[in-house]
Structure 1
Amino acid sequence: MRLLQRPIEHGELTLAVAVNGDLADSRTPPVLLVHGMGSDHSTWRPFASALRRAGRAVIAVDLRGHGRSGRPGDYALETFAADLGFVLDGLEVERVDVVGHSLGAHAALRMAMNDPGRIRSLVLEEVPPMPRDQADLDEDIVMSAGFGERVRGIGALMRNPMPVVRFHRAVGTQVGAEFERADPQWWGRLTEVSARTLVISGGSRSFLPPPHLQALAQALPDGRFDVIDAGHSVHRDRRREFTSMAGTFLVQ
């Protein structure tokens, strides 16, 4: 792991990053992998291995409040996106493909809004969109994993408990509060994303309704939508299908 020190208000933030492959290879950009809430970079190991076999350099980050990264106490959604940009700056990487899951996908999408030229291709697995209006808020679609979703996560927790042990619970509180406010301007900014984007839904087994993710894909200038009926953690529970779908998209 590489530890990058990011200056922030009242100190420094440590960001832990795993790098595999030659980041200076000019043939294809590296792939940045961004995990979801309560996880860390290790969730991507099987997918990262497949990317490396295909000759891609891989960067996998621990988000603030997760894994070996620091716990600054500030977990506003925009801070996660800014951290991703800082990591790329620190590694001297100008352009990337990005694959993100859940909170990580949301952070990647915000980075694509803020710095469109930096991302070539974007895979968003189960990305939670901001609520558009009161109707979206009334659905209570975000941060509300059901019983089945929790049961499917028990096996992963038993195999690797460290991501949960290292997770700072304040992340969930602050992120959840942001998703409790409608943000129609966020939807308007989707037109600023220049990356070709694949939105992957976990289907009817997920707590994120597929129509919301499809609407997000349709709002993007170059977005497409697909479903793997696996629940919220598609890359974990339907590994082969996810690797095939995401991997094929990244080489198109």
Structure 2
Amino acid sequence: MILELQGKAAYCYTGGKAFDPQLPTVVFIHGAQNDHSVWALQSRWFAHHGHGVLAVDLPGHGRSAGPALASVEAMADWLLAVLDQAGVTRALLVGHSMGSLIALETAHRAPERVRALALLGTTYPMKVSDALLATSRDDEAAAIDMVNIWSHSTMAHKLASPVPGFSVMGGAQRLMARMSAINPDHLFHTDFSACNAYANGEAAAASVRPPTLFIFGRQDMMTPPRSTKLLTAAIAHGKVVQVDAGHSLMSEQPDAVLGALAGFAASLD
């Protein structure tokens, strides 16, 4: 589904079903240098099990027009505009990595719009090393290689892959390379800089009242579970689930992530 925001296309994948704002809405928000497709299994399941699904492409990513937005705050405002345009009053927000910060800031800015939060591969502050920031600016292909290796728990094929022989790492590499081809204007650096600069996470977390689910990869090197204590302490009512994966937990352990999300959503009824 393509919406128009201030004359620019905003793409939302609806999970293979026509979007119905009267159904309980689940909004999926991807991370840096990604698009809606990282939620392929989870978004389709929810769309075929009684939910309205909006898996967004953030500006400058996938099928949404650019430029990419330079701050988490601007992306949260954009997401609220998407909800307005789609006729959604309240939603379960599901965000991964950079997307988790967007979900958190959205809940802070418009708490009445957020039914619940699911934050995957999250941490705060979400600092990016100076070396990786510089590489993402000067050699995006090298940055993609680095992040792809660090985002997975192993280079071996996963038994949980959707089809035999499917390369989880290969798929992630191709997706990030495609984002570079679509938007060559330092997209990775823009995304990483937004994560690195976001300074409202502690205040935003302290303001969260809706039910919250954290899903962490036990072997996550990008946002390691040990770095999440500020968020989990600030949102003390949040439930924590760990899966046997790295940072790319939706593709490494798709069924485990889906099971955690489905159970969480069912608990809201």
Partners of 1:218 and 1:224 within 8 A in 2 = no
Percentage of identical aligned residues: 25
Q: 1:206 aligns with which of 205, 221, 228?
A: 221
Equivalent residue, structure 2, for 1:40: 35
What secondary structure, in the 3-state scheme, does the structure 1 residue paired with 2:27 have?
A: strand
Report the Cα distance in structure 1 between the residues aligned to 2:175 and 2:130, rounded to whole angstroms.
Answer: 33
CA-atom RMSD in angstroms = 3.0
Shift of residue 115, structure 1, vs aligned partner: 0.5
Report the Cα distance in structure 2 between the residues aligned to 1:158 and 1:171, rounded to whole angstroms.
Answer: 15
What secondary structure, in the 3-state scheme, does the structure 2 residue paired with 1:78 have?
A: helix
Residue 47 (structure 2) pairs with residue 52 (structure 1): yes
What secondary structure, in the 3-state scheme, does the structure 1 residue paired with 2:214 have?
A: strand
Report the Cα distance in structure 1 between the residues aligned to 2:205 and 2:93, rounded to whole angstroms.
Answer: 16
Equivalent residue, structure 1, for 2:235: 220
Report the Cα distance in structure 1 between the residues aligned to 2:206 and 2:50, rounded to whole angstroms.
Answer: 32
Change beyond 3 A, Cα 1:32–1:6: same
Equivalent residue, structure 2, for 1:6: 5
What secondary structure, in the 3-state scheme, does the structure 2 residue paired with 1:198 have?
A: strand
Partners of 1:98 and 1:119 within 8 A in 2 = yes
Q: How many residues align?
A: 240
Shift of residue 82, structure 1, vs aligned partner: 0.9
Partners of 1:234 and 1:242 within 8 A in 2 = yes
TM-score by length of structure 1 reads 0.82
Residue 122 (structure 2) pairs with residue 127 (structure 1): yes
Partners of 1:96 and 1:121 within 8 A in 2 = yes
Partners of 1:137 and 1:181 within 8 A in 2 = no
Report the Cα distance in structure 1 between the residues aligned to 2:19 and 2:80, rounded to whole angstroms.
Answer: 19
Shift of residue 41, structure 1, vs aligned partner: 1.3
Name the amino acid aligned to 2:151: E
Shift of residue 204, structure 1, vs aligned partner: 2.6
Please say which of residues 193-202 and 81-90 is displaced more in the overlay. 193-202
Q: Which runs of 5+ in 2 are unaligned?
A: 137-145, 156-167
Change beyond 3 A, Cα 1:37–1:45: same
Shift of residue 37, structure 1, vs aligned partner: 1.4
Residue 13 (structure 2) pairs with residue 18 (structure 1): yes
Shift of residue 227, structure 1, vs aligned partner: 1.3
Shift of residue 197, structure 1, vs aligned partner: 0.8
Name the amino acid aligned to 2:147: A
What secondary structure, in the 3-state scheme, does the structure 2 residue paired with 1:71 have?
A: coil
Q: 1:109 aligns with which of 104, 110, 121?
A: 104
Residue 238 (structure 2) pairs with residue 239 (structure 1): no
TM-score by length of structure 2 reads 0.77
Report the Cα distance in structure 2 between the residues aligned to 1:224 and 1:139, rounded to whole angstroms.
Answer: 32
Residue 175 (structure 2) pairs with residue 173 (structure 1): no
Q: Which runs of 5+ in 1 are unaligned?
A: none
Partners of 2:61 and 2:68 within 8 A in 1 = no
Give the 5 Å matches for 1:139-154.
145=147, 147-149=149-151, 153-154=169-170
